[in-house]
Amino acid sequence: MNNSKENHTLTRTEIMTWLRERDEKRLNVLWANADSVRKLNVGDEVHLRGIIAFSNHCNRTCQYCGINALNKDLIRYAMTQDEIISAIREFESFEYHTVVLQSGEYPGIKRDWITELIKRIKSETNLAITLSLGERSESDLAEWKAVGADRYLLKFETSNEKLYESLHSENKGSWRKRIEMLQTLDKLGYEVGSGIMVGFPGQQFDDLINDLEMFKELNLDMIGIGPYIPHPATKLGKDFKPATVDAKQVPNNKLTTYKMIALTRLTCPLVNIPSTTSLAIIAVDGRAGGLTRGGNVVMPDLTPETFRRHYDIYPSYHREHFNTDNYHHELMASIRSMGRRISSDSGVSLKFKTRNIKISNNDN
């Protein structure tokens, strides 16, 4: 830990220069710095998390998301607890030590049902549990923590409050509520994951700099960054036009996503950073590219195929075939071929460990 570079800082001007940089040779310096800060702080281990998207029912109308309540063409599903447990059992042998239970935001998903599910997973497996169910009440979150939930994932999507509200127009004050929930999760003792999308309409480069500042302010343990992928069944996706070079609009491409991953590693060295599924979807080499530019986590979608095709948050024309033995062997082989190790533990964020040590020191 003596080598920790937790106080590595970059000025806004330096960050802006990197965000505008197009010269490959200079960018190689950014990638190399991010990779070495990753190695120095969180090491060579890659943590695998298996996502089970157990329901696509949703009450929200987020204008970027394909499972939003206004999409009437979508077949809605909810897996039973037995289906979830048997899906988890299928990937137990593949070096996964965390399951991520994800869904739309839906009041029909009852507190007691999730409580029971957490208890079952904890008694029947050794997996750490990450929840990602959208915004929920403090009492729900407290109960789930008490019965064994370890982490929660809730992206704030953008630090630009006005922009966020314009994409969630049904719900004034929703950005603030989301930020408050991240603080509540922290208070309740969860490992807190959040993050942003890169390149959705209206997002400007200054917003990305503010996003990086916000990652630090919120003291996050995990930070996920993925490109915005236009979905034709959404308001935002229908009218989408790719950004032109040098425009103010942030492009939703691989390069900008890589830059944000690398800059996040430099400014928040101890956090867990996934090489995201959306990045793997827009580019065949995206998964590996994210891991060599600061990433140390991979979160494959392990939802059984019959359900997964309806968990349509973004279009996934090149979607990888996650649930085959072959896929797992190839993923593990490609991680090892980068000189990285697959973690044999649940991969608690170093950020989480160190901030908890600090808290207990203060108490003494």
Task: Point out which residues bind ligand SAH (CB under 6 A).
Answer: 64-65, 102, 104-105, 132, 134, 154-155, 157, 197, 226, 228-229, 231, 278, 313-314
Using the minimum distance from each CB to ligand SAH, give the nearer residue, 106 or 343: 106
Distance from C-alpha of 354 to C-alpha of 72, rounded to nearest angstrom: 46
Distance from C-alpha of 29 to C-alpha of 48, rounded to nearest angstrom: 27
Using the minimum distance from each CB to ligand SAH, give the nearer residue, 5 or 155: 155
Using the minimum distance from each CB to ligand SAH, give the nearer residue, 154 or 209: 154
> What amino acid occupies position 174?
S
Phi, psi of 16 (to 5 degrees): -60, -40
Q: Which H or E run includes 209?
A: helix 205-217
> What amino acid occupies position 155?
K
Distance from C-alpha of 120 to C-alpha of 147, rounded to nearest angstrom: 10
List the beta bridge partners of residue 297.
Answer: 47, 274
Distance from C-alpha of 114 to C-alpha of 332, rounded to nearest angstrom: 31
Using the minimum distance from each CB to ligand SAH, give the nearer residue, 276 or 343: 276
Strand 274-275 to 222-227 pairing: unpaired
Shortest distance, CB of residue 104 to ligand SAH, whole angstroms? 5
Using the minimum distance from each CB to ligand SAH, give the nearer residue, 174 or 296: 174
Shortest distance, CB of residue 19 to ligand SAH, whole angstroms? 19
Using the minimum distance from each CB to ligand SAH, give the nearer residue, 44 or 202: 202
Shortest distance, CB of residue 133 to ligand SAH, whole angstroms? 6
Shortest distance, CB of residue 62 to ligand SAH, whole angstroms? 7
Shortest distance, CB of residue 205 to ligand SAH, whole angstroms? 19
> What amino acid occupies position 3?
N
Shortest distance, CB of residue 190 to ligand SAH, whole angstroms? 14
Shortest distance, CB of residue 60 to ligand SAH, whole angstroms? 7
The residue among 216, 193, 217 whose CA lies nearest residue 267 is 216
Using the minimum distance from each CB to ligand SAH, give the nearer residue, 212 or 342: 212
The residue among 214, 212, 228, 185 whose CA lies nearest residue 294 is 212
3-state DSSP assignment of residue 281: helix
